[in-house]
Structure 1
Amino acid sequence: MDLNTVAEVVSPASVDQWRPGDAWLGGGTALFASPSPEIRRLLDLTTAGWEPLTWRPDGLEIAATCTVATLVAQEHELIEKCCHAFLASFKIWNVATVGGNLCASLPAGPMIALGAALDGVCRLLGPSGSREVPVRDFVTGEGCNVLRDGELLRSLFLPHAFLNTPSAFRQGSLHPYGRSAALLIGRRDADGAFVLTVTASTTRPYVLRFASPPEPEMLQVALAERIPETAYVRDVHGLPAWRRHLTRMYAEQIRAELS
């Protein structure tokens, strides 16, 4: 879609150049997907020169401008599954960015699921400096997040401690190539803890932690108590009751697999 209100593209761009009416441009697959008449300038991040992936002793830092194609090439099982949950063509994979998926903050965003499931941290840059926000707290609702005016997502950090822990993945859609209606990831930590992350079926990520794998009844009670009925998404990709059913069914499958 053409953004016919845009009068200027600033490239390269930095946080001190932002002003009202600006939008940060990464891959653009989300930005150009819908009308945005309030945008007057695009601040291009693709020329910032950020290294897409940086392996550190304590984990993996993923630049916001890292494409899905670059990320999936890491051949990490859970990362691969989350990338394939985009259900997009190779053309989209080579343009869409990790940061764009997080900042769009749509319930079905698989990078949101990946980051929340591995206790990922978002590094944000803005006019007042930098700050870090856990992925599970970054998205606050459907299409909503904690970014302030002028802030941008610089990178997503995934701790090494959780990158190689046993995990289980479940994803379901109305159609074989449809948008995720429920995407759940479970993991078992070195201390025996069981962590379940619920996304796509809900308006924001929900992370449930247990000291050890819970009994089936305990898990279902926790899902009912910690995820409000109003948190389940209603749209053309699935009704709330069906999404809730998928969530509880997948949660039990993951619990059994990791027990």
Structure 2
Amino acid sequence: MDLNTVVELRDARQAGSWRPGDAWLGGGTYLFSEPQPQLRRLLDLSRTGWPPLTATPDGGLEIAATCTVAQLLRHPRPWPAGPLFEQCCHAFLASWKIWHMATVGGNLCNSLPAGPMISLTAALDGSCRLIGRDGAVREVPVAEFVTGAGRNLLRPGELLRAVTLPGRALAGRTAFRQSSLYGLGRSAALLIGLLDPLDGGFTLTVTAATVRPIRLRFPFPPNAEALREALEHAVRPAEYFDDIHGLPAWRRHLTFHHAEQIRRELAEEDAR
């Protein structure tokens, strides 16, 4: 879509001070998908030269905000949690063009409930590195960065630079469940379970069904009753998302159904 209110495109490295009507431009798959009448200038991040994926000293992975879905999917995944990357990338159900243009950072910053990069990075205990207009840097867990449907903790002019996944999470075993109203529809519920490789702790991350990521942590895999009770207390009725892709009551049903499937899958693996 043409953005007929935009009068300037600048290299983000030479943008100068932030001003009203500015927007960071990554892949542009959202910006150019619908009218943006408030925009006057786009600050292009494509020439920043940030390495898309970088190994960290603890065996983890730093994902640049400008890393595309295709780059993430092509990257070697030697960790036990490796299959989760492909599962979440395929949850986009997107075209070849979108895979090669859409960025991990854009998916997080749009903060839509069905954003699969939010699901992936929240489940793997990811941390967002945010850079303010004054150069100040702050770290925010992905699960706290997204605060609601289309809402997050970004301040005006603040930039998401990267998401870091710790090696400990990548070394854990995972279980993935996703449901949509249609065969090729947007995720109505996407849940991920993770078993900690060191202490055996169990984490369940609920996305798509809820307006924000919900993470439940247990010191050891819970039984069915404990998990159900924890979900009842963790997710308020108003936090189940409501749109044409699924009613809240159905999303709640899927959440409890998939949570129990994940619990059983990881408990059975742990018993082997």
Compute the TM-score of the two structures, normalised by the length of structure 2.
0.93
Post-superposition offset of 1:15: 7.1
Question: Is 2:195 the counterpart of 1:188?
Answer: yes
Note the C-alpha offset of 1:13.
3.2
Q: Which one of 90, 98, 109 corresponds to residue 115 of structure 2?
A: 109
Match for residue 63 of structure 2?
62
Number of the residue aligned with 2:53: 53
Task: Tell me what 1:130 maps to.
Answer: 137
| Cross-structure match for 1:154 | 161
Alignment of 1:30-109 (within 5 A): 30-58=30-58, 59-74=60-75, 75=77, 76-109=82-115
2: CA distance between counterparts of 1:36 and 1:69? 26
Distance 1:15 1:124 in 2: 17
Q: What do residues 220-256 of structure 1 show as CA deviations (whole Å, max 9, x unaligned)?
A: 1111111000000110000000000000000000000
Q: Which residue of 2 aligns with 1:177?
A: 184
CA distance in 1, matches of 2:204, 2:15: 35
Q: Structure 2: how far apart are the matches of 1:100 and 1:192?
A: 33
Percent identity for Structure 1 against Structure 2: 63
- What RMSD in Å do the two structures reach over aligned CA positions? 1.1
Partner AA of 1:214 in structure 2: P
Q: How many Å separate the matches in 2 of 1:191 and 1:69?
A: 33
TM normalised by structure 1 equals: 0.98
Q: 1:12 to 1:149 in 2, by over 3 A?
A: closer
Q: Does residue 211 of the first structure (1) align with residue 219 of the second (2)?
A: yes
8 Å CA contact 1:67–1:98 kept in 2: the answer is yes
* Letter in structure 1 aligned against 2:62: E
Q: 1:242 to 1:130 in 2, by over 3 A?
A: same
SS of the residue corresponding to residue 13 of structure 1 reads: helix
Q: Distance in 2 between matches of 1:219 and 1:14?
A: 51
User: d(CA) in 1 for partners of 2:242 and 2:12?
Assistant: 39
The unaligned stretches of length 5 or more in structure 2 are 268-272
User: Paired residue for 2:270?
Assistant: none
SS of match in other structure, 1:94: helix
Counterpart residue number, 2:266: 258
